[in-house]
Amino acid sequence: MLKTLIKKQFTELFRTYFYDQKKNKARSKLSVIAWFVFFITIMCGVLGGMFVSLSVSLCRGLMAADMSWMYFAVLGLLALCLGLFGSVFNTYSGLYLAKDNDLLLSMPIPIRLIMASRIVSVYLLGLMYCSVVFLPAMIVYWINAQLSFATVAGPLVMYAVISVFVLILSCSLGWVVAKISLKLKNRSFITVFVSLLFIGVYYFFYFKAQTMIQNLLANASEYGEKIRGSAYIVYLFGRIGEADPAVSAGFVAAAALLFLLIWRLLTRGFVDVATAAAPVTKTRYKEEYIKRTSVSAALLRKEFGRFTASPNYMLNCGMGILSLTAAGIVLLVKGQALLAPVQGLLAEFNGALPVMLCAVSCMLVSMNDMATPSVSLEGKSIWIAQLLPVTAWQVLKAKLNVQLILTAVPTVFCNACALIVLRIPVAESLMYMLTPLVYALFSALLGLTLGLKMPNLSWTNETVPIKQAGNILIALFSGWGYALLVGGAYLILGALLGPVPYLILVCAMTVAASFFLFRWLKTKGSEIYASL
């Protein structure tokens, strides 16, 4: 039975990879392989690549100082953080809010099996994220160390322990969110607020981590002593990687014990939480004056309503709003101090700083991808939009406009803040302002195109179209690719042109690509939407 439930979870999780909803048939084996290769390339190539260089820079130095435990402690903690960060936002909805709760609970399935199948999903998500850090760390270690049973087994045990700790922490937080949610009124906004606090703390440490790691390398032995003295648990944690049998056994036992505790906690209260209706305060309807609005305004309001109703949607697809705003404030407050060393690094490239900042701005813009899952999120209620006397293009335009509005405003703010600090000539300023906005248009059009190309209307958990869909992954990483291309190409070729002509060229190419996508959405895309 558990196997069947897990298979069901996996079918949903990887549905996009196996099933082409547009053609209403299973993908070919070749297509499935291509999808998985693409996914693995993105995860390993882009994210993993970052941690390969970090592992390389730490490994040799710390091994030479006979402090491999510190190498494992640092990367292990990073893996723990990333694993938790990647999985925690979906744990609550993944464990408790699936639409098949009633169906499964009505069947003769023990609750522990339902929970076990869902925990497997949470575990896999956490494992995927912590692997991005710890797999490169292990490989780099194995390359540098003399291979033996201990050097191979130690990191593997630690990898397993980390993944279980990620699961425990993620499930604990999911349970806390579930308990709090049952008593909250404005759940969406409170969940978003708490999550943002968590993200803020995460990024605070993330940015501090750079300096901390550099310091660590410079004063490894001193820090080593300090950690042993005041944070002995961290030392022990690192010792798992060195295959200390007693320590490893202790951590494995602790992980098993904590897992049992959280397991009991989750299974005991599952029915209460999963079947509890939202804490609806009986709001009595009071008739009030209603103003008639235009069709486009009504469609836009509906799309905004969809976005703001779901913390999951806001957190996963609207991070650009916060990032752009925060980046603007940081630039205003600490701009000069932050940009001076970058300017020094880029001194040999003519006018590179504004272009690089432009690229960063585009990367932040790409963190807004609310248009991508907006088609799938229509789910079973898509018949309403198809039935209304409006064209499919009007509906799609509303989805597009939500992303454009929510991206353009913080982009203008962020760029205006940067311009105050940069003090560059008017033409450069204009292009600096324009390029991320043009990219915001392209990004929204591309996101919606991907949403139509890879729709999933039969989800039972909204996390699937919001976070786990292939189109979301492509939308996010294509944004990163665009930013890298804009920045990288300038260092290679653009410096010869100068920033203004280069950015004009970038804008022209982006506008051309946007025009192509716009035409497609208005014609073929609209046809696809109407026939979904």
Partner 1 sequence: MLRIEHLTKSFGEKIAVNDLSLHIAPGEIYGFIGHNGAGKTTTLKSVVGIQNFDAGEITIGGVSLKQDPIGCKKMLAYIPDNPDIYEFMTGIKYLNFIADIFGVEANTRRERIKEYADRFELTADLAQPVSAYSHGMKQKLAIISAWLHEPRLIVMDEPFVGLDPKASFLLKEMMREVCRGGGAIFFSTHVLEVAEKLCDKVAIIKQGSLIRSGTMDEVRGDESLENVFLELEAEAEA
- Is there binding between residue 348 and partner 1 (CB under 8 A)? no
Least distance between partner 1 and beta carbon 515 (Å) = 26
* Binding of residue 280 to partner 1 (CB under 8 A): yes
Q: Which one of residues 386, 458, 460, 478 is an interface residue with partner 1 (CB under 8 A)?
A: 386
Q: How far apart are CA 5 and CA 113, in angstroms?
A: 8
Among 348, 389, 423, 492, binds partner 1 (CB under 8 A): 389
Taking the C-alpha atoms of residue 21 and residue 27, their distance in angstroms, rounded to an integer, is 9
Contact flag: residue 340 with partner 1 (CB under 8 A): no
User: Helix, strand, or coil here: 282?
Assistant: coil
Closest by CA position to 123, among listed 269, 41, 10, 203: 10
Per-residue DSSP letters for 423-465?
Answer: ---HHHHHHHHHHHHHHHHHHHHHHHHHHHHS-----SSTHII
Total residue count of the chain as it appears in this document = 532
> Is residue 183 part of the contact set for partner 1 (CB under 8 A)?
no
Q: Please give the torsion angle defined by the CA atoms of residues 174, 179, 180 and 182, in that order, rounded to the nearest 10 degrees.
A: 120
Q: Among 213, 215, 210, 217, which residue's Cα sits nearest to residue 65?
A: 217
Give the residue with the Cβ less far from partner 1, 29 or 286: 286
How many residues in the shown chain lie near partner 1 by CB under 8 A?
A: 38
Q: Which is nearer to partner 1, 30 or 280 (CB)?
A: 280
Distance between CA atoms of residues 245 and 460, nearest Å: 44
Task: Report the residue from 205, 232, 383, 515 that binds partner 1 according to the rule CB under 8 A.
Answer: 383
Of the ranges 78-86, 111-119, 288-296, 417-425, which one interacts with partner 1 (CB under 8 A)? Answer: 288-296
Q: How far is the CB of 27 from partner 1 (least distance, A)?
A: 17
* Among 380, 501, 509, 512, interactor with partner 1 by CB under 8 A: 380
Interface with partner 1 includes 309 (CB under 8 A)?
Answer: yes
The pattern of x and - marking residues 239 through 278 that bind partner 1 according to CB under 8 A reads --------------------------------------xx
Closer residue to partner 1 in complex, CB, 471/526: 526
Judged by CB under 8 A, which of 302, 326, 330, 332 binds partner 1? 302
Nearer of residues 379 and 481 to partner 1, judged by Cβ: 379
DSSP assignment string, 298-316: HHHHHHHHHHHH-HHHHHH
Residue 118: Cβ-neighbour burial (10 angstroms; 0-12, 13-18, 19+): buried
Give me 338's structure tokens: 């932050």
**Which of 37, 40, 107, 295 touches partner 1 (CB under 8 A)?**
295
Note whether 84 and 201 are within 8 A (CB): no
| Residues near partner 1, by CB under 8 A | 277-278, 280, 282-287, 289-295, 297-299, 301-302, 305-306, 309-310, 379-381, 383-384, 386-391, 530-531
